[in-house]
Structure 1
């Protein structure tokens, strides 16, 4: 078990509406302030979705570049861009995200039912995205929503070699309606199936956030938290800010004798290209 815990914050996502969730950071200024607060609270990676002027999800490349630059100037966080976007985004736009020059990106290892929608990640798209990350020296985080996606990750690595940086890091996304449940038994099964030497974080969506956090720490894993995945802090209590979720994760990690990694440790751990 590692002596420290990598904490990733996913502050915005593509699902929630600003009108319904006023604390959601959707402007660049809000995102940068959120990033500073979350870094101070113990996060080392920020998983980024952006919004347009009407607070709708967008993959606009100029905005993405501005976002990466602003986050780098204001924080030491590892900037990981989502290549998932919103479920309606075309593949070309999702591939183009890498041109914004992030440190890392998400790479989802298969198609999954996502509530009432379908999050499409067919094999040829996965391969093209993966090969581009290798060419552009961007570290992928393999997002796994189901056990079948773990098998797809093995296939990807077997056919196309290791990722840039040489280290395989995954995120188990649990509790999505349509994906694997957010419970200890499923987490253990998923971790057992991962490639040898891989490290992993886990994300519990909605009310699975705490059970998944405790299970991940007990099994030697790392944590992803944030308002992309969790909008309720406790029964009847909305999340006040992303930093509140990072503070809780950092506190639990310290209780588990695995304090949060700082950004320099996280860069070395993930094999991210030096700035």
Structure 2
């Protein structure tokens, strides 16, 4: 029996680390553009903004704490309220050399860093939330592997807990939820747990409804979950997430289109998500309400 969500919050993933900048001029690249896109999303109805940074000159993915600092400072100075969710997924990128000679890894596409270095920007800026990608998996059709070993995840979870930041578990397949439960059982993820079900990413969990519900049913009952899919299924997944009892994620990290042939901004996608949710009888939660629900600590005025 489905239990649709009546109070839902929207997370906007504003830029990501993919090659979307080559396909849409609306994907923000510079720290100022990323911050302004977060503000646009918040004003459109997103309570949470999920932030990656990019090299300003090239649009390539980056994890320089100085870039995060510039984004976060601009947001905080704007006076627009939103819950900050910084990625901690960067630094686990492994691209093997070739199918016949996998070692040494290819320099292009490989960025492997230790647990402490991966959390440097989180330690400095102390957002309410940071992500923890709970698993290793193939990505795309080449030799790229998203790499997050149990030992690394355990150390990252330990450090996130010590900082008083809420981890948002990123689960791309069912086994990733098991890893998250393993961390919880060691006391490294405290209540209330927060998990993002990342559907439709090759070669993780497909985004059909039966697989989504298998993922939902594996989430601890006391945890709060959101769900999304990528590409053309992002907006239908607004309704899917609500019907499954969860919360919403949209944004240019996962999808650049508003309608067929119409490029979206982050604000456009959030507004469309608000329309869908409200038409289904749901109420959109504010940033203060999300902080209260998830027991988040806001460290800025």
Specify the TM-score bucket, using the shorter chain as the normaliser: over 0.9
Partner of 1:155: 182
Partner of 2:32: 29
Partner of 2:101: none
TM-superposed CA distance for 1:17, in Å, is 4.7
Give the Cα separation in 2 of the matches to 1:17 and 1:248.
20
Aligned residues of 2:235 and 2:273 also touching (Cα < 8 A): no
Matched, 1:91 2:113: yes
Task: Name which of 13, 23, 26 aligns with 1:10.
Answer: 13
Matched, 1:231 2:256: yes
Return 57-66 or 145-154, whichever deviates more.
Answer: 57-66
Partner of 1:213: 238
**Which 4+ runs in 1 deviate beyond 6 A?**
none
Give the Cα separation in 2 of the matches to 1:217 and 1:2.
5
Q: Call closer, same or farther: CA 1:53–1:274 in 2, change over 3 Å.
A: closer
Matched, 1:71 2:75: yes
Give the Cα separation in 1 of the matches to 2:269 and 2:138.
26
Give the Cα separation in 2 of the matches to 1:47 and 1:246.
13
Task: Name which of 111, 132, 157 aligns with 1:130.
Answer: 157
CA deviations over 1:129-159 (Å, ceiling 9, x no partner): 1111110011110000001111111111011
Partner of 1:61: 65
SS at match of 1:18: helix
Partner of 1:103: 128
SS at match of 2:249: strand
Give the Cα separation in 2 of the matches to 1:211 and 1:18.
23
Give the Cα separation in 1 of the matches to 2:180 and 2:263.
33
Partner of 2:107: none
Give the Cα separation in 1 of the matches to 2:170 and 2:189.
16
Return 49-58 or 135-144, whichever deviates more.
Answer: 49-58
Aligned residues of 1:25 and 1:31 also touching (Cα < 8 A): yes
Return 245-254 or 69-78, whichever deviates more.
Answer: 69-78
User: Where does structure 2 lack aligned partners over 5 or more consecutive residues?
Assistant: 94-109
CA deviations over 1:96-133 (Å, ceiling 9, x no partner): 23223222101111112111321111101111111111
Aligned residues: 272
Q: Which structure has the greater CA radius of gyration?
A: 2
TM-score (norm 1): 0.93
Give the Cα separation in 2 of the matches to 1:107 and 1:224.
16
Give the Cα separation in 2 of the matches to 1:167 and 1:7.
18
TM-superposed CA distance for 1:171, in Å, is 0.4
Aligned residues of 1:65 and 1:101 also touching (Cα < 8 A): no
Aligned residues of 1:183 and 1:211 also touching (Cα < 8 A): no
TM-score (norm 2): 0.86
Give the Cα separation in 2 of the matches to 1:104 and 1:127.
17
Task: Name which of 38, 47, 50 aligns with 1:47.
Answer: 50
CA deviations over 1:185-234 (Å, ceiling 9, x no partner): 11111111111201100011112213422211111110110010012223
TM-superposed CA distance for 1:2, in Å, is 4.4
CA deviations over 1:33-65 (Å, ceiling 9, x no partner): 212211111101110001122122111112212
Aligned residues of 1:183 and 1:212 also touching (Cα < 8 A): no
